[in-house]
Amino acid sequence: MATTDDSHPTNSSHRPDGGDESQPWFTLAHDYEKARAREDSLDRLVEWPAQRDLLGDVGGLSVLDVGCGNGAKLAELVRDGATASVGVDISGNFPAGPTPGMELVRGDLSDLESVPELAGRTFDRILFLQSIGYANDPVRTLRAARAMLADDGFILLTRSHPIRWAVERAEQNGTTLGEEYYSTASYTYYHRSWNDQIALTKRAYTVADLLNLFSAAGLSIETTVEPQLSEEARRRYPHKQVWMDKYLGILIFKLRPRP
């Protein structure tokens, strides 16, 4: 499986805006966490190890995880020494009794300025791990996060490689890779690894779109990583290497405010 990015449930009139937990959004959030926890998930094998490496030593640092899911990654960072940390997610799919040193808050990343638990606070590290695509206005959301960065802080942001979606659309539509990469049409599909009863609609984007987003938000790229499977993981899970060879995986950006 690959992790979530900018897909939205479309088989219901509801939107993922924090309402009734019977909405498809909340069912999908639970299904996603189950899939991510699988031994052979690409999040476990590729994404989180690379993200963790870029974060480095978090001892004594505060972390804000925007779109934190069930908070498992933030909890690991707190166990590694992070402190006064907060996870925000619209699903509220949190375990009972969060890890000491962290707070899990139900809130909308499209309106970070209105999350009361974040008012007046700054953080050393702010994470958008496959979550920025959910923002109604990504520039606004990243600007709000930029304003919450402590001195010498940075944002760690990941997105699925846009080529992945172009390949899938080309297969579905019988078109070419170039046509689909530059297409601005929405793309609806069912994610078999999460829940094949809920339709997802994806907004297409290109690498240029990502670079322009960061620039508009007043951020510059310090480091970019395209993580791959380790040799051990390739041998143990060859089907995942087949997937990576075709769909490329993810991009990870380490972003800092421009002076």
Q: What is the pLDDT of residue 194?
A: 59
What's the CATH number for 7-165+205-257? 3.40.50.150
Cα 27-31-35 angle, rounded to 5 deg: 170
Phi and psi angles of residue 65, each rounded to the nearest 5 degrees, phi first:
-105, 110
By CB atoms closer than 10 A (0-12, 13-18, 19+), residue 107 is buried
Stated pTM of the model: 0.85
3-state secondary structure of 160: strand
d(CA 30, CA 25): 9
Where are the domains positioned within the chain?
7-165+205-257
In Å, what is the CA distance from 128 to each residue of 73, 174, 177, 189? Answer: 12, 33, 28, 23
Full pLDDT tens readout for the chain, 259 residues = 233 344 443 333 233 333 333 355 556 656 666 666 678 888 989 999 999 999 999 999 999 999 998 899 999 999 999 999 999 998 887 887 768 899 999 999 999 999 999 999 999 999 999 999 889 999 999 999 999 999 999 999 999 999 988 998 899 899 999 999 999 887 776 666 555 666 667 778 999 999 999 999 999 999 999 999 999 999 999 999 999 999 999 999 999 999 8
Tell me the C-alpha distance between 57 and 110, whole Å: 29
Q: What six digits make up the tokens of 217?
A: 């938000």
